[in-house]
């Protein structure tokens, strides 16, 4: 049977993969760097059709996985229940991971490659981890990582040097900044980093922070040249939101997320704002409701599969069943078609931590005329944006 790489990506998120003794990951692969929220705790793989996945390898549930990574001669393959199902590639260890910033810090402790983009958490630990009674989101491991697997403090110069190294060596087109909750000061803290990266590199920049209490800050963000904004709602059902994200519930509230998403779609445009949701922590029907509501206001959904990272409050849980998740990703794609939301336009932005809206086509069977019209429009938009982006970078480098 023909392999569906979208389904395989989903299955790997839900079941993880074991590493056979034939593999030489220290030589052939990106190191496993547990940074930011912890979702990157797995091994980065490139599946057929160029789909990147960060496959869990260390969590408890991986012991029962049917998948094994093996090496034969120089090539890597995935086996399922003992049978080879496909050849895959391993993205090589980025050279800049070994390099030092001028201040003497390892660049891999400043920024990390996740798929084909660079992710940076430049600020201090999320305040929800610092409160007397811990208010952190139950699945999150930022408080275990910042200051441990990554630098506690990252100066603008250190970030800029790392971004430039990743641009030169890895050809990144996109830098993604995120922070936890910092009493509403998140965007002000990110501002100098964004300014420097925009001015010096011209790369696309995405920002992911809790919603600002002052919505006009997003106008300012847009003026600075930010290309993409995303908001981690995480859980749609209000009671479940309270249980899973106590700090977000008490200090922010779901309404603020919806208000910020709606406001940002108006200024950034359709498809340039994302609502993030974690599938597997609530009934899939609630996840679908979130996806539909994001789409109604012109936002795309980025859907993570719940990963019970080691050391977190939810480490003993298991990810959802893949078969319960296929309607979720089918819907994620359908609503983009129905609401004419452009997806997958940015050049060379492949994400290993989520199934991207455009990858939702692997879950879709209704290849009607609307599908082909949308695919044609997206191809033209992609081409035009690629030309614009390359010209911008060329002019910046001159």
Residues that bind ligand SF4 (CB under 6 A): 37, 126, 128, 136-137, 140, 142, 180-181, 248
Report the nearest approach of ligand SF4 to the CB of residue 239 (Å).
Answer: 18
Report the nearest approach of ligand SF4 to the CB of residue 88 (Å).
Answer: 30
The phi, psi pair for 396, rounded to 5°, reads -65, -35
Find how far residue 188's CA is from the centre of its chain: 22
Report the nearest approach of ligand SF4 to the CB of residue 126 (Å).
Answer: 3
C-alpha 257/C-alpha 397 separation (Å) is 37
Query: Which is closer to ligand SF4, CB of 94 or CB of 210?
Result: 210
Strand-strand pairing, 204-208 and 228-234: parallel
**Token pair for residue 1?**
């049977």
Report the nearest approach of ligand SF4 to the CB of residue 38 (Å).
Answer: 9
Query: Which is closer to ligand SF4, CB of 52 or CB of 121?
Result: 121
Query: Which is closer to ligand SF4, CB of 121 or CB of 389?
Result: 121
Report the nearest approach of ligand SF4 to the CB of residue 128 (Å).
Answer: 4
What beta strand segments (E) does 57-155 contain? 67-72, 75-80, 83-88, 112-114, 117-120
- Long-range contacts of the stretch 249-256 (C-beta < 8 A, 24+): 250/135, 251/128, 251/135, 251/181, 252/181, 252/210, 252/211, 256/210, 256/211, 256/213
The radius of gyration computed from the CA coordinates of the chain, to the nearest angstrom, equals: 20
Query: Which is closer to ligand SF4, CB of 198 or CB of 307?
Result: 307
Query: Which is closer to ligand SF4, CB of 73 or CB of 183?
Result: 183
Report the nearest approach of ligand SF4 to the CB of residue 58 (Å).
Answer: 19
Query: Which is closer to ligand SF4, CB of 52 or CB of 128?
Result: 128
Q: Judge residue 388's burial from the number of C-beta atoms within 10 Å of its C-beta, 0-12 exposed, 13-18 middle, 19 or more buried.
A: exposed
What beta strand segments (E) does the chain contain? 18-19, 43-47, 51-55, 67-72, 75-80, 83-88, 112-114, 117-120, 174-178, 204-208, 228-234, 273-279, 300-305
CA-nearest of 261, 323, 326 to 290 is 261
Q: Give the N- to C-terminal CA distance of the chain in Å, as an integer.
A: 50
Contacts of 2 (CB under 8 A, 6+ apart): none
Distance set, CA 294 to CA 2, 85, 227 (Å) = 33, 36, 18
Query: Which is closer to ligand SF4, CB of 130 or CB of 348?
Result: 130
Distance set, CA 80 to CA 6, 84, 213, 324 (Å) = 16, 6, 48, 20
Report the nearest approach of ligand SF4 to the CB of residue 146 (Å).
Answer: 9
Query: Which is closer to ligand SF4, CB of 8 or CB of 232?
Result: 232
The length of the chain, given as a count of residues? 398
Report the nearest approach of ligand SF4 to the CB of residue 317 (Å).
Answer: 16
Report the nearest approach of ligand SF4 to the CB of residue 315 (Å).
Answer: 15
Query: Which is closer to ligand SF4, CB of 247 or CB of 344?
Result: 247
């Amino acid at each position: 049977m023909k392999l569906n790489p979208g389904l395989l990506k989903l299955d790997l998120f839900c079941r993880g993969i074991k590493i056979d003794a034939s593999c030489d990951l220290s030589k052939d692969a990106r190191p496993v760097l547990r940074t930011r929220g912890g979702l990157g705790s797995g091994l980065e793989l490139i599946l057929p059709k160029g789909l990147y996945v960060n496959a869990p390898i260390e969590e408890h549930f991986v012991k029962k996985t049917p998948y094994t990574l093996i090496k034969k001669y120089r090539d890597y393959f995935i086996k399922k229940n003992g049978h080879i199902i496909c050849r895959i590639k391993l993205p090589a260890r980025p050279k800049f991971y070994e390099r030092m910033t001028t201040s003497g810090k390892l660049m891999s402790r400043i920024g990390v490659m996740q798929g084909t983009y660079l992710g940076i958490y430049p600020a201090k630990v999320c305040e929800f981890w610092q409160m007397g009674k811990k208010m952190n989101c139950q699945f999150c491991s930022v408080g275990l990582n910042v200051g441990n697997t990554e630098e506690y403090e990252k100066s603008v110069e250190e970030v800029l040097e790392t971004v430039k190294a990743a641009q030169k060596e890895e050809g990144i087109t996109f830098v993604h900044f995120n922070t936890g909750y910092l009493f509403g000061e998140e965007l002000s803290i990110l501002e100098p980093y964004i300014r420097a990266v925009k001015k010096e590199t011209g790369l696309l920049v995405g920002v992911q922070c809790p919603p600002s209490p002052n919505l006009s800050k997003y106008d300012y963000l847009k003026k600075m040249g930010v290309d993409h904004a995303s908001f981690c709602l995480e859980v749609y059902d209000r009671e479940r939101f309270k249980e899973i994200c106590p700090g977000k519930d008490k200090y922010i509230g779901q309404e603020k997320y919806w208000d910020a998403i709606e406001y940002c779609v108006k200024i950034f445009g359709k498809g340039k704002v994302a609502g993030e949701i974690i599938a597997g922590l609530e009934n899939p029907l609630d996840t679908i409701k979130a996806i539909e509501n994001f789409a109604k206001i012109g936002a795309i959904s980025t859907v993570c599969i719940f990963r019970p990272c080691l050391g977190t409050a939810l480490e003993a849980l298991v990810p959802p069943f893949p078969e319960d998740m296929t309607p979720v990703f089918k819907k994620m794609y359908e609503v983009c078609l129905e609401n004419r939301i452009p997806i997958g336009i940015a050049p060379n932005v492949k994400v290993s931590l989520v199934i991207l809206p455009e990858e939702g086509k692997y879950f879709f069977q209704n290849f009607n005329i609307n599908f082909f019209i949308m695919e044609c429009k997206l191809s033209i938009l992609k081409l035009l944006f690629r030309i614009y982006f390359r010209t911008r970078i060329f002019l910046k480098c001159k």
